[in-house]
């Protein structure tokens, strides 16, 4: 039985590099179109698998060429895809523009991801794993049901609330770890998040809503780990940024994998897992594309040493 189950999205990313994001009504010239496997769920599954974790993916793709493409990619990355269904809807896509600074702008078309249901989770009865990874590119009710079943079976839940949207307090309370970036944290709490004090203040609002631990990814500033007693900033690693796509997914895959491996007491294990996640996220920004940028275990160990 795989140690990590990812319930989430699988997308085909249609990526173009451009000098800047187009203004309303503006047409600009970009580079060649690239077709790359993505989706926050699949990204996190592949991220953990490349680091040596045993991973299973639950989701939906279409009965089209993009669906074949994504399933073949999971197989090539040693991710168990038995719980990925084929749907009459088209495979989910993400249209991504990457600017000259490596920042990205994304438009999602959910497709089959929007059909992932509570019944899918219940019929699969898959929740005999150690960790469950969740995001918000599939229906919120499905995410909630997966978290409920996980807690009933003693499975640790990691929730990445992305793309940011309103979610019920019950889902926040079911998460052992909730991992937003600064923008997502601001949208979740309705608070300005622009420095470390405001980040910690907003994170504590999520704790008040039931979260056990909040880990805020801060890009080049690393991450902030907040629980009811403490707040710890963990620095990241300096790299030359090419493309930030999937950096957050790389962080979560790394954090989850290292958390599984650790036999230290919880506070030490969390800090080591966050540092490992920061290394994974930093390395992901040094390459173009979502899953092509996700680092291997050897690459992460090298940058840490």
HSE, CB side, 13 Å, CA atoms: give it for residue 54.
6
- Asked whether the beta carbons of 257 and 276 are under 8 A apart, the reply is yes
> d(Cα 297, Cα 258) in Å, to the nearest integer?
11
> d(Cα 215, Cα 252) in Å, to the nearest integer?
10
SS3 state at 177: strand
- Asked whether the beta carbons of 204 and 226 are under 8 A apart, the reply is yes
Query: Active site residue: 87, 192, 249, 263, which one?
Result: 249
Q: How far is CA 280 from CA 51, 167, 197, in A?
A: 9, 27, 25
Q: Verify whether residue 88 is a known catalytic residue.
A: no
Q: Is the bond preceding 166 in cis, omega lying within 30 degrees of 0?
A: no
Alpha helices in 192-296 (DSSP H): 196-208, 247-261, 266-284
> d(Cα 78, Cα 99) in Å, to the nearest integer?
32
> d(Cα 89, Cα 217) in Å, to the nearest integer?
33
The catalytic residues are 249
């Amino acid at each position: 039985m795989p140690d990590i189950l990812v319930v989430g999205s699988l997308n085909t990313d249609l990526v173009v590099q451009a000098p800047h994001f187009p203004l309303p009504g503006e047409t600009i010239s970009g580079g060649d179109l690239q077709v790359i496997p993505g989706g926050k769920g699949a990204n996190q599954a592949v991220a953990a698998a490349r680091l040596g974790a045993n991973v299973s993916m639950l989701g939906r793709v279409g009965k089209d060429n993009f669906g074949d493409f994504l399933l073949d990619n999971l197989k090539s990355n040693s991710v168990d895809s038995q719980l990925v269904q084929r749907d009459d809807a088209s495979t989910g896509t993400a249209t991504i523009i990457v600017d000259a600074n490596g920042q990205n702008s994304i438009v999602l078309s959910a497709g089959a991801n929007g059909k992932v249901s509570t019944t899918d989770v219940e019929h699969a009865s898959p929740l005999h794993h150690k960790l469950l990874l969740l995001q918000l590119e599939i229906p919120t009710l499905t995410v909630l049901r997966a978290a409920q079943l996980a807690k009933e079976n003693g499975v640790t839940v990691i929730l990445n609330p992305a793309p940011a949207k309103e979610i019920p307090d019950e889902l926040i309370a079911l998460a052992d770890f909730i991992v937003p970036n600064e923008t997502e944290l601001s949208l979740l709490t309705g608070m300005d998040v622009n420095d470390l004090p405001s980040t910690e203040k907003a994170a504590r609002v999520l704790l008040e809503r039931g979260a056990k631990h909040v880990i805020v990814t801060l890009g080049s500033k690393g991450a902030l780990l907040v629980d009811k007693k403490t707040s710890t900033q963990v620095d990241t690693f300096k790299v030359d940024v090419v493309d930030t796509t999937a950096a957050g997914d790389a962080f979560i895959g790394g954090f989850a994998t290292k958390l599984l491996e650790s036999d230290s007491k919880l506070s030490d294990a969390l800090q080591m897992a966050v540092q490992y996640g920061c290394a994974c996220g930093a390395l992901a920004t040094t390459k173009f594309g979502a899953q092509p940028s996700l680092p291997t275990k050897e690459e992460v160990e090298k940058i840490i040493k």
